[in-house]
Chains A and B, each alone.
Chain A
């Protein structure tokens, strides 16, 4: 038997004028690092890093489920709403959680749409953070699929979503972790993946903001997997070049969900990213 050090609690914050009950998990102590999950998934993507004693020795990792995701309920009246995430609502959510938890300038680590919003926050609210780790993140990605596929009454959106994103998992990923990663998509609520993708594939407002990011004040480190079809190394490189001073690391054997699909190979890249961030240096090696 073993009990993991990760603890989960709930936090109620106000977003878009209404209460949201947010589920969050944390592990460790020291420098706060807020971790954002990808579209169509939840905090479980961060489970391996949050269970890494060497990393959590000096880093307090905090991950939360976005409203509509994981254990965070959708807002009251959701049954009459079409879920479509926006940059504004996403930013408001991240800032509300940080304020609600009383975090002082945490590092922000986000993957995929979480990486996208991390870069938006680097441009628009750098004073609230100490640095940004943007994983599988780029300036803009138009959809190479029809996002409406993933919310239909005649098909299982979760299974279709999992089938689609499996294209973004590296063949080097251990089979068990590949399927653990896909399971989260299979469990995603109806229309949630589609609503996330709407934000991710239609809002290109980040492009003109990238050159305004001051990496002297808040460093930006971008990490990308070679097997990521959605945010390719070329996409990440283009994005990094548009941010003066941003750094980039390419992971040859990883895909779009590195912390979840192949944690062992991702770990050194994340440790390296933490070392580039201000504050308590990561002691993990």
Chain B
């Protein structure tokens, strides 16, 4: 195999490994949410799909009455979503630290410091903001998540 092909193959492998870790993190959030009844109660009216885009890679989290029912990697043009959080891997890694540095400690913080963008039905997010932020924060402390 030519060197260029080797490098491309290695990059694909690395990308796949990174995407697998992201999926694993979202699955862990799903599992922790199942064990967090007060959050399920808080999100009991939330049945929407949320797009989390990390460095351009899409992940769709589908919620049904406050529970995550699926985590699907994109790209997909057929999956409707209510709102989207677009950020980068390093920012999300910092967000998920136990005590993030200023700006990385909150979803709106990411937006404020220019490391995140929220698109779509923002009011839907704001109506369910306590729920959504706490759900995303369920991975907090999982510092092995790598950029």
User: Which A residues are closer than 8 A to B by beta carbons?
Assistant: 144-146, 149, 155, 159-160, 162-164, 166-167, 170-172, 226-227, 229
**Would A162 and B130 count as touching, CB distance under 8 A?**
yes
Pick the residue among A145, A146, A167, A226 that contacts B106 (CB under 8 A): A167
Q: Contacts A171-B99, A171-B100 hold; do A163 and B130 have CB atoms under 8 A apart?
A: yes
Q: Which 5 A-B pairs have CB atoms at the shortest separation, nearest pair first?
A: A163-B129, A167-B106, A163-B130, A167-B108, A171-B99
Counting chain B residues whose Cβ lies within 8 A of the other chain, the interface size class is 10 to 19
Q: Name the interface residues of B70-129: CB closer than 8 Å to any CB of A.
A: 98-100, 102-103, 105-109, 111-112, 122-123, 126-127, 129
User: Which B residues are closer than 8 A to A by beta carbons?
Assistant: 98-100, 102-103, 105-109, 111-112, 122-123, 126-127, 129-130, 133
Look across to chain A and name the residue whose beta carbon is closest to the beta carbon of B111.
A144
**Would B112 and A229 count as touching, CB distance under 8 A?**
yes
Describe B's contact surface by its main secondary structure. helix
Pick the residue among A164, A170, A171, A227 that contacts B108 (CB under 8 A): A164
**Would B99 and A166 count as touching, CB distance under 8 A?**
no
19 additional contacts (CB under 8 A) given A149-B123, A229-B102: A144-B108, A144-B112, A149-B126, A155-B126, A159-B130, A163-B126, A163-B130, A163-B133, A164-B126, A166-B106, A166-B133, A167-B105, A167-B106, A167-B107, A167-B109, A171-B99, A171-B105, A227-B102, A229-B106
Report the separation of the CA atoms of residues A269 and B130 in the bound assembly, to the nearest whole angstrom: 30
Tell me the smallest distance from the CB of A177 to a CB of chain B, in Å.
16
**Would B133 and A229 count as touching, CB distance under 8 A?**
no
Look across to chain B and name the residue whose beta carbon is closest to the beta carbon of A168.
B106
Report the separation of the CA atoms of residues A160 and B133 in the bound assembly, to the nearest whole angstrom: 12
Hey, which chain A residues are within 8 Å of B129, CB to CB? 160, 163-164
Q: Contacts A163-B133, A172-B99 hold; do A229 and B108 have CB atoms under 8 A apart?
A: yes
**Would B103 and A166 count as touching, CB distance under 8 A?**
no
Show 8 residue pairs from A and B whose CB-CB distance is below 8 angstroms, ordered by the A residue: A144-B108, A144-B111, A149-B123, A159-B130, A166-B106, A171-B99, A171-B105, A227-B102
**Would B102 and A160 count as touching, CB distance under 8 A?**
no
Hey, which chain B residues are within 8 Å of A145, CB to CB? 108, 126
Report the separation of the CA atoms of residues A160 and B107 in the bound assembly, to the nearest whole angstrom: 14
**Would B130 and A227 count as touching, CB distance under 8 A?**
no
Hey, which chain B residues are within 8 Å of A170, CB to CB? 105
Hey, which chain B residues are within 8 Å of A171, CB to CB? 98-100, 105
Hey, which chain A residues are within 8 Å of B123, CB to CB? 149
Pick the residue among A146, A155, A163, A229 that contacts B103 (CB under 8 A): A229
Interface-centre pick from B107, B122, B123 (highest chain A CB count, 10 A): B123
